[in-house]
Amino acid sequence: MSASVHLTTHNLDALKFNTATTRRNSQRVRIGAVRCSVSTAETEDSSRRTAEAEARRVTLKNGGDSLDISRVLNGMWQTSGGWGAIDRNGAVEAMLRYADAGLSTFDMADHYGPAEDLYGMFINRVRRERPPELLEQIRGLTKWVPPPVKMTSNYVRENINLSRKRMDVSSLDMLQFHWWDYSNSGYLDALKHLTDLKEEGKIKTVALTNFDTERLQIILENGIPIVSNQVQHSIVDMRPQQKMAELCEATGVKLITYGTVMGGLLSEKFLDTNLSIPFAGPPLNTPSLQKYKRMVDAWGGWGQFQVLLKTLKKVASKHGVSIPTVAVKYILDQPAVAGSMVGVRLGLSEHVKDSNAVFALELDEEDVNSILEVSKKGRDLMEVIGDCGDEYRR
Q: What is the mean pLDDT of the chain?
A: 88
What is the rounded distance in angstroms from the CA atom of residue 37 to the CA atom of residue 7?
13
**Using one digit for the tens of pLDDT, what is the confidence trace for 300-356?**
999 999 999 999 999 999 999 999 999 999 999 999 999 999 988 775 667 899 999
pTM above 0.95, yes or no: no
pLDDT surpassing 90 at residue 99: yes
Residue, of 15 and 383, whose pLDDT is higher: 383
In order of 148, 181, 189, 219, 321, the CA distances from 185 in angstroms are 9, 8, 8, 10, 46
Q: Which of 206, 210, 270, 208 is nearest to 239 (CA)?
A: 210
The model's pLDDT over 23-77, given as tens digits with 9 standing for 90+, comes to: 444 443 333 343 434 456 666 666 556 566 668 999 999 999 999 999 999 999 8
The pLDDT tens digits for 119-164 are 999 999 999 999 999 999 999 999 999 998 999 999 999 999 999 9
Give the closest residue to 69 by CA, choosing from 5, 12, 139, 136.
Answer: 139
C-alpha to C-alpha distance for 364 and 49, rounded to whole angstroms: 20
pLDDT at 9: 35
